[in-house]
Amino acid sequence: MKTYAGPVSDHFDGTHFFDPDGSPPKSLREVLRWQLGSGRKRGKWPEWVPSPYADTPPPRVEGERMRVSFVGHASWLIQTAGLNILADPVWSERASPMAFAGPKRHNDPGIAFDKLPPIDIVLVSHGHYDHLDLATLSKLAAKFSPRVITPLGNDITMRAADRAIKAEAFDWHDRVELGHHVAATLVPTRHWTARGLFDRNKALWASFVLETPAGKIYIVGDSGYGDGKHFRNVREAHGPLRLALLPIGAYEPRWFMRDQHMNPSDAVKALADCGAQQALAHHHGTFQLTDEAIEAPAEALGAALDEAKIPRERFVALKPGQVLEI
């Protein structure tokens, strides 16, 4: 299997990527301890939890206006300056390497695939199956042929599956011009990546700062909180931020997930650290990846905001198909 080859850096040792300010992923022994431990308490999700919303986006949103539609899990459609941008698009039934097993959707995407406007740009944060969905990327390539912007190494995965996917790979801190006075900068995030058993951290992971005429959007696909350094660094280097898309789910059990996924309390601290004017929550309510109940992240987000004395309207958990317009 071909993997990334490039110069050694402060976050690449010649074979594996790493976060100098992060923690390595859990070992197989720890995975088994979580999955098979006698004290495991896994919330039971309903088989199907349909969203009451379904979005039909306009063909374009021009100028300094911005329209942000929640597709579900970590997938977003961002429309501004005449560009249509998808983040971590997943329309597949399962977030899994297998079509017959693995985490299954509990609601439909908030935008039906055939209702999508022409897609110009796709941002893919890392290689985990709930973020890098090859079937969806192939469908997008066949219908729209968008540019796909992704961290180093993930382009190899995409092109190996479908050469029609127009993947472009970049390193942390690279700034990519997207046209129409829009640009994306890849920024460090506290996470890791893999597609199988033998490629752990052989590709890079990142968050994105999207510069638009409507303001800057901080798109965090997956991240642990740590000491908050990455979020404060984004504020210092890229602020002020108009909007942050922050993950709040897939966080239990805490001893296992703390280093790779924020819980709602962590996400509220991340909002304070990055200083965004507004935040929207994601990474919850569609695929059951961990042990918390389906409604727990949204409920805990409200409680964490109250405790931090932050108005609830500043950090909102949308349902698939809901839209924020700026």
> HEC string of the chain?
CCCCCCCCECCECCCCECCCCCCCCCCHHHHHHHHHCCCCCCCCCCCCCCCCCCCCCCCCCCCCCEEEEEEECCEEEEEECCEEEEECCCCCCECCCCCCCCCEECCCCCCCHHHCCCCCEEECCCCCCCCCCHHHHHHHHHHCCCEEEEECCHHHHHHHHCCCCEEEEECCCCEEEEECCEEEEEECCCCCCCCCCCCCCCCCCCEEEEEECCEEEEECCCCCCCCCHHHHHHHHHHCCCCEEEEECCCCCCHHHHCCCCCCHHHHHHHHHHHCCCEEEEECCCCECCCCCCCCHHHHHHHHHHHHHCCCHHHEECCCCCCEEEC
Structure pTM?
0.97
Cα angle value 232/193/124 (rounded, 5°): 75
pLDDT tens, position by position, 48-95: 999 999 999 999 999 999 999 999 999 999 999 999 999 999 999 999
pLDDT tens, position by position, 237-283: 999 999 999 999 999 999 999 999 999 999 999 999 999 999 999 99
Please choose, from the candidates 177, 92, 179, the residue with its C-alpha nearest in 3D space to the C-alpha of residue 134: 92
Burial 264-278 (b: 16+ CB within 10 A, else e): bbbbbbbbebbbbeb
- Model pLDDT, residue 73: 98
What's the whole-number mean pLDDT along residues 188-210? 95
Question: For the chain, what is the mean pLDDT?
Answer: 96
Beta-carbon contacts of residue 7 (< 8 Å; ≥ 6 apart): none
Dihedral sign of CA atoms 45, 46, 47, 49 in order: negative
Domain 49-325 has CATH 3.60.15.10: yes
Tokens matching residue 147: 């540019």
| pLDDT band of 24, cuts 50, 70, 90 | confident
